Every structure is written in structure tokens, then in C-alpha cells.
Structure 1
């Protein structure tokens, strides 16, 4: 009995030592995978057709958070990517949309535009970019700082904002795809003076043309795509030059009428092309091979383009995710071989989700609407004319925010807060407006839950408007009245996204507890034993960590 007890003690001690060693060994590479416009239910809707080595590999061998949500408004690409990597919301990080009205410059601006820098890779303007409008650090910044600027951080995406913002201020590189007549991966001289030779070689390899040389046909028999509505329906947008939005899509013929190389962004091959480039980056930059931890932030953008054009219930979106599943399986296998199965930690999530096409919802008797900004502005101007004898008090209306002309208001000896409150009180009567609240209210009142809490989390005192609005559920701009869909709201169809962790330091399992997108960055920071991003407001997801 004593011998048996002694053996049990030895086994326990050995196990503890082994586990301790595993827990303290940092990954050689962290890979952040963001899938643009991926709803959580794409994991379940198409599950029967996914292979075992793509999404299912992460679900079976990683930790899936089934009730993960965005906790702010607006749910747009730039805001999503920034919030994932900063661990906070627009209130702190300052990226309040993709484009927004700058009340200081008196013009609409784009989140990563920066004329202080030039394009590296071609003679176009697509590289005049930087992350300077992002006011806080990212987990990628903190990793670089913690390692005395050792280790590499690289951001990759077809969209510039999806490559730049996740990579942070201190990135070694961020690369994005310049479409149109260019068809090249480019960057900004914010990062480097010239493209590395491997990027130049990649741009010459002809893969972009290869992917555009054949029609987009379904991966499997289209008759088996029973998870989506019929192919020929009135709820989708066509490619320019196409009579109906149906398979097969003749990409070689449509290319010239759809901005040449830019059509690659809007088909599943755009995701494959992105994965090809990411693999080239891993090999040529020796990511995961040094003594310091590297970080690859990769975003798959084509899912968003397809979703906008064809909608949530389309054959096209189903095919795009089945193709992406194969791309992911191939990419994970590549990571195993190139970096080592135990040497990397990976997370997969989305920058936002999407609403069902309102036109389709209406056809099945579910309330849905389209919103005209022009008609709404006329309505608001009539309010100010009625109460303040002027219809020029509003400077801009965009992103469901109203910006007042403070100089005009002051010249009429009016009080801006009084004007804003009157507008908020009146516009609630406008069709399809569900909530209206002033900036003053958001500054002086704390909303702890619900849609106004999300609105408050997305409000930035320095940059946001004077009156903020929440439309009814399933309400989109009239831009989509003829088909297609979008996102941006605080409703669950836009906020509920996949959040899966996998690899070094991660348990196997799942949870139905509610978590927020801002929890990713502090969780990774804890795993890596580094300081949190400097504006972080998220929490560590303890149950996923070994």
C-alpha cells in the first residue's frame, strides 16, 4: 500500500510539473482571425457541410463562447477591428465608424486616411494610410512594448482598415489589397520605405489573375444548399453587367465592368488569396521561429462584400462560408507544419454580424424598414424652423447622428443643449426612430444595460454628434432598398458573433455565459503575461485559460 501511495504522489507531482511547464510556456505566434460580417449562426446553419479541419477543428479542440456580443453602437468594420484589439469601445479608442463627420474639419473623414504618408508598392493613393486616429494601444502594441520592440507584428487584409487597426501603432507591417487596375498588395511608408522582396514576388506570381480566370460556381451541388433560399430571388444585388444574381457568376466576363481586380474582393477566392498571402508572410518573415512571440492579425474581408451584395439567406453566402471552411482547414494545417501545433495560439471572431435583407423579412411578414436620410433631414429642419425660426441649425446627419451648427446657433443667441433636446424630443415621433438621446444625456447619465448602454459605449464626447438615434430593428438605409443587406445596429443580429480560442494555453470546451468583444484583448494579454492595452475596459475570460 505504501508503494502504491508513493507512486500516486510521484504521478501527481509529475503531472503538476508538466502542467506548470505548459502553462508558463508562451506561444511563439499568436494568430488573430477576424471574419468580416460573420454571424454566429453561420457556425450552426452550415455545420452539416463543414469539414472536420476548419471551423469544426476549432469548435472540437478549442473553446467556443456561444453567447459573445458586441457591446456598442455602431457595429461597423473599423470599429469592430479596433475594439477587438484595444479591448475597449469607441468611447475610449476614438474610432467611431468607418467614415464619420469631423465637426472640426467640417467634412467626412475616413478612419485610416493620413496624407502625411505615401503608398508603398505602386504609384496610387491607396497607401496614404496610418492608424493615427486610433487613440489607444492594442494588444499587438503591448506585446511589442513588453518585448522591447522585439518580435514581429503584421496585419493582413483585403481592406486597409482591417489590416492597419489590428496591427496597432508599432506594427512591423500592415498589407492590404489595391484593386481596380492595380491588383497588388501594398502598404504605407508609415511602416517601411519599400515592399520586401517577397511581397514584390508575390505581386508578380499571377495568382490574382488566376483566381479571376474562372466562373464562380458552387463548391458543391447547388441543390444541396438547402440552408438558403432559392437562387433566383428579388432580394439580392447583381454584379454590374449581370441580368440576374444567380450562379454561375461569369467572373472573367464581369471583371471589366466591376472595376477589374476589385471583383476579387467580392468572391470566395478573395479569402483564398488572402490566406495565400498570409502563408507567404509567415514563411518569409519567419513568424513563430524566433525566441520572441510574433503576432499575425489576419482578416478575411470577402465575406463582407458577398454579404452586402447577396444577403444572409443567399446561396452565395452559404457557398462563401463552405469555401472559407476549406481555406481555414488548409491554413490551420499550414500553421501546424510551419510553426508547430503547440507553438501558436489562435482566436477567431468577427468584426460584426448582419441583418436579414429587410425586403426579404417583409415578404415573410416580419417588420423591417428602409430609412431615407434626405427625408429625415427635411423633417429635422422643419423642427428647428418651427421652434427656433431657422432651418439651418443642423450641419450634418450621418451614422444615425445629428451634428449641430454651433456657430449658427450661437449667432442666433440660442442654447445648443436646448436645441439638441428639442430635436431629440421631436424626432422620436418620426417613423422608424426607436430611441433618440442627446449627447448631454449620455454625458450625465449612466445606462447600465440595454440598447442605450450600447449607444453610450459607442459615444465619444470629442467626436460624436449632438443627438444620437437608434432605428427600429431591421432598418437599413434606402441604399439597400433594391436588395442586399448591411449592419451597424446594437440588435443581436448585428452583435452576436463567434468567439473561439484555440491552441497553446487554451482549454477545450464551450460556454453559454455572455461575453463581450472587448474581452479578447485582456484575455490574450493575460495569456501572454503582458500589460493590457492602455484603454482596456474588458475582462479576462478565465474559463478558457489552462
Structure 2
């Protein structure tokens, strides 16, 4: 399947057809020297379930990766399976409890502004900022990343991070990047004061032109036609049979479509080519955050024609990216994974043999619960802050005695709700030690502890039951989501590839925190800090890439 590309976005599309094959000519032997370029790709919301469903249909970039080292049961092992925490694990080797990135947003009552919600990739001290209108920053990431390890070992190593979301680019890029670019809803931007390379200027002009043109419906192969069925969620909204037709000027439609990932990967390939990454005496790092799968999953679900078309298109776009890199002649290694999994909308799940799937009941959120608890206990003023799952905070004005009373009553009420699996207190979580056993064996409390920071996490952590979607209605932008304790949100594929390597598949579980030390070992860089991950041996034979 090919997108109808305007000439302005021809960087990837113009790659000669002969170079777009899924697998280049094999090298004569397993590579013995370090690669000159590491390419790390995160596909936002690319669950292990989606990987399993579509892997036999891939003929492009994914097909190439499937000839390398395949770990179909990778884990974002923590409980807070959101974009920011997940991305913080991929190139740090550390779980969110260590990175400090415990959620996309958290509450900080000491924040120097009226808005006490803090976004994971912002600087809340900037005057006039809010959690929704913020200055992007890496200040909340507590650990160094692979790019920083590389620069410590060799200051001439270069790091480029390009993503569809600021939090993806920042959390994977870390604190020391040579180029850092993300989409802000209108254009690719970076930190204030950075000079845009010529490639960014060209890409922004191309994307503006492309958004200004209508997009015709994509051709739908038979495999996707079988998944095409309309679900009328409300009088104004139907999903399931879309083909990404878009009116001219529809920026939101562009973002939730294969067009978006194509622009992200094209920009990354263009910057890498212009900077000649991997063509010098030093090993470089190219980081790419493909975000469209997440936007499609949230707004259309994971099991309709939209996701089918999105993944098949991404497969072809990845193939074109690799073809561009092949033409440079650089010896490069690829790691691909995801920041979290995802769960389809309950309306379709119920028709697909999961009758227990449901939307969370209204009134289970901390605000509503807090009002009821405050009235029952005779407490005047706010009592609880938070949502219907994840972190819940006690209001700062409560006395110690009232905090204890509120905690007892909150645990009682949430625990009695049939949609709630567990309620954990701060004391319970802080008493739970981090483990290094297979992540599928972890208790819910151990999962919660892996994404708990005493300075940022809630006083209570709420876990909904499996298959309960924490979105109460269908009137908002998102109809499906992720973020739960459960494996459909925790499990992601982890794929490694390098020209000439002998491939293998390991079905046993590994973790995304294993990616950074694996790549560091591959290029001979020592890990300079304590981490949670381990090196994965990518040699299929008696050799060991972790030595």
C-alpha cells in the first residue's frame, strides 16, 4: 500500500524501488566491529498484540526487522503505562521509579503557579505557564540516557531525536542532544533559540503544503476490508471503517494518520543524511518517535480498518527509511519498540468475544469521590485530587487526623466498587522492593512500585479491573486508551536488526529497560550509572555481544 505523496514530501518516496526491498544483500559474516550508527525507533502504542496480529502481513521495514533478533514479549513492566513513563525507560535502562517520570502528568502542590498539575516534559517555573500551555524541558528526567552515555565516552558522538510528541523526543533524547525536534500541532519545533537546520525548514514547508491539500481515501487491501465495520458510538461519531480521507486544512486528521509518521521519519532521515550521521570516526545515535499509531488508537480504536491501514503504511514507510540509510553506506543497527501497549474500545471488544469489557462508571473519579467523602465525614473544602485510576492525592489542607479518616473511607469506597481491582497506599508501595524476576510474574503492587516516586506519586494508587477502559464516554477526543496495570498495556515488541547478523526469536519476556544497555554493549560504551535493565545477547551463536 502506498500513500498519495505530493512532491514536497518526496524524501522517502523518491527512494529508488530497487532500494526499497525489505532486506538488503546479506553480509558474508556476523559483524565483528561496532556499528557506526544506532537507530532507535519507538512506535507509540504498538502493543505486542498488534505486532502478533500483523507480523505476517509485513513486507517492508518490519519484515526486515523480523530477520534480526525478535523479542515478541518485551515489557514496559511498570503500572503507569503512559507515553512519558514508557519513553523514559527505552534509552535510560531505568524504570519510572528511577527516572522520576511516573506519569504524563502529576500533581505538585508546591508548583509555583495556580495550576498544580505538572506535565512530565515542562518547566513549570516559567511565568504564565500551565500544564496545557508550557515550555518544553528535560528537567524532570532524573537519569542520563544512552546518548549521554555515548557523549561521556566520546564527546564527538552526535545525538538526534525527532518525534511526533515533545515528551517522546525529550525522554529518549535526554539532556544532551545535538538536534531535538517535535511536532507542536502546526510545525516541527525545538527548544527556544535553536536554529532550524535546512531540512526542518523544508519539511515544515512541505507539511504545511500537504495539510493544505485534501487527502483522498486510502486504497483498502482485502486484509483491511475484513476489519472494516462502522461502529456508531454516538449520533455524531462513527469509527471502524475509516480510510483517512481528510479535508484540506484538517491538522488533527493529518496527525492521526499515516501521513504523520511519514513526515516524522522523513525529517529524521533528512537530518541524518545532512549531518552525515555514522559517516565519521564516531558512533552516532538517531532517535525516532513515530506517534501516529497512538493517535489512531485513541481516536479510532485498535481493531478497525484505520489501524490496519496505519500499520501497513508504517511498514512501508519504515522500509523507505531503511532504504535511505542503506544508500549512505553506513553500518547501522536498529532497535524498535513501543512506549506502551493499548486496548481497543469496549464496544468492539464486546462483539469480539470479550463481553466483560466496559467503560468506567461516571463518578469514580477522585473529585466526585472526594466530595462524597467530605460530606460523609463533615470535612469542609477539597479532599481528594486525581482521576478514576492511577495516582490520587490528599488535598494539602487536610489535618493528619482527617487524612487518616479520608484514606480509610476512600479505600473502603473504591474497594467496594465492582470496577476496581485494588487500592494501594503510599506506605504499601514504599515498602515494596523492586524485583528483577520475569515481569509477567510481578504482583500488582510490584508493578505499582516500579513507577512510584515519593516526591511525585499519589497518596493512593487505584487499579481498575482488567478490560475496564478509564474513559467514561465517547463524546471526547479519545474513545480507547492505555495506562493500566494489565499486560495488554505492558507488553510491547522489541526488535533488533543489523545487516549481516544471524537472526533469532526469543519468546521469553524481556524489558524495555534492557534496550539501552544492549545497545551500549554493542558499541563498546560502559553504562556509567546504576540501572534496572540488563544487556541482551544479540549473537545467535556461542558469541556474546554483552561481553
What TM-score does the superposition give when structure 2 sets the normalisation length? 0.83
Residue 306 of structure 1: CA displacement?
Answer: 0.7
Quote the offset at 1:139 in angstroms.
1.1
Match of 2:454 in 1: 461
Tell me the equivalent position of 2:348.
360
**1:127, 1:186 within 8 Å by CA — same for their partners in 2?**
no
Q: What's the counterpart of residue 437 of structure 1?
A: 424
1:287 Cα deviation after fit = 0.8
* Pairing of 1:300-449 with structure 2 (within 5 A): 300-340=290-330, 343-363=331-351, 364-372=353-361, 374-377=363-366, 378-383=368-373, 385-386=375-376, 388-390=377-379, 392=381, 394-398=383-387, 399-410=389-400, 414=401, 416=403, 419-446=406-433, 449=442
Shift of 1:385: 4.7
Is the 2:44–2:294 Cα contact (8 Å) retained in structure 1? yes
- TM (norm. structure 1) is 0.83
Write the distance in 2 (CA, Å) between the matches of 1:76 and 1:327.
Answer: 25
Task: Tell me by how many angstroms 1:282 deviates.
Answer: 0.9
Number of residue pairs matched by the alignment: 496
**Structure 1: distance between partners of 2:501 and 2:370:** 52
2:106 aligned with 1:100, yes or no? yes
Equivalent in the alignment of 2:247: 252
Q: Give the deviation of 1:185 after TM superposition.
A: 1.5
- CA-CA distance at 1:85 after TM superposition: 1.3
Whole-Å separation in 2 of the counterparts to 1:127 and 1:107:
13
| Structure 1 residue 97, shift from structure 2 partner | 1.2
Once the two structures are superposed, residues 482-510 of structure 1 have per-residue CA deviations (whole angstroms, 9 ceiling, x without a partner) of 57310001211111111001116954101
Match of residue 451 from structure 1: 444
Alignment match, 2:119: 110
Change beyond 3 A, Cα 1:480–1:145? farther
Q: Is residue 538 from structure 1 mapped to residue 540 from structure 2 by the alignment?
A: no
Displacement after TM superposition at 1:450 (Å): 2.1
Name the counterpart of 1:152.
Answer: 158
For residues 126 and 380 of structure 2, the distance between their equivalents in structure 1, rounded to whole angstroms, comes to 40
Q: What's the CA shift for 1:244?
A: 6.6
User: Does structure 1 retain, via aligned residues, the 8 Å contact 2:230–2:238?
Assistant: no
Q: How far off is 1:460 after superposition? A: 0.9
Q: Is the 8 A contact 1:86 1:137 kept in 2?
A: yes
**Is the 2:199–2:267 Cα contact (8 Å) retained in structure 1?**
no
- Using the TM superposition, give the Cα deviation of residue 68 of structure 1 relative to its aligned residue in structure 2, in angstroms: 1.2
Q: Work out whether residues 268 and 323 of structure 1, in 8 Å CA contact, stay in contact via their aligned partners in 2.
A: yes
1:213 is the counterpart of 2:208: no
Confirm or deny: 8 A CA contact 1:117 1:129 kept in the other structure: no
Secondary structure (helix, strand or coil) at the match of 1:68 reads: strand
Aligned equivalent of 2:191: 188
The one of 34, 39, 42 aligned to 2:42: 34
Q: Deviations over 1:131-151 (max 9, x none)?
A: 11101111111111111x211
Question: Is contact 1:103–1:463 with CA below 8 Å preserved after alignment?
Answer: no
Shift of 1:534: 2.8
Give the structure with the larger helix fraction: 1
Measure the CA separation in 2 of the matches of 1:236 and 1:535: 50
Matched residue SS, 1:234? strand
- Alignment partners' CA distance in 2, 1:153 and 1:430: 48
Distance change (3 Å), C-alpha of 1:447 and 1:54:
closer
**What's 1:14 paired with?**
none
Gaps of 5+ in 1: 1-17, 119-124
Give the direction of change, closer, same or farther, for the CA distance of 1:384–1:445 in structure 2 (3 Å limit). Answer: farther
Equivalent residue, structure 2, for 1:15: none
How far did residue 273 of structure 1 move? Answer: 1.1
Query: What runs of 5+ residues in structure 2 fail to find an aligned partner?
Result: 1-27, 436-441
Distance 1:268 1:441 in 2: 43
| CA contact 2:109–2:396 (8 Å) conserved in 1 | no
Which residue of 2 is the match for residue 528 of structure 1? 523
- Once the 2 structures are TM-superposed, how far is the Cα of residue 226 of structure 1 from its aligned partner? 5.3
Q: Distance in 1 between matches of 2:46 and 2:253?
A: 20
Q: Does the 8 Å contact 1:28/1:344 carry over to 2? A: yes
For the pair shown, the structure with the greater C-alpha radius of gyration is: 1
RMSD: 2.8
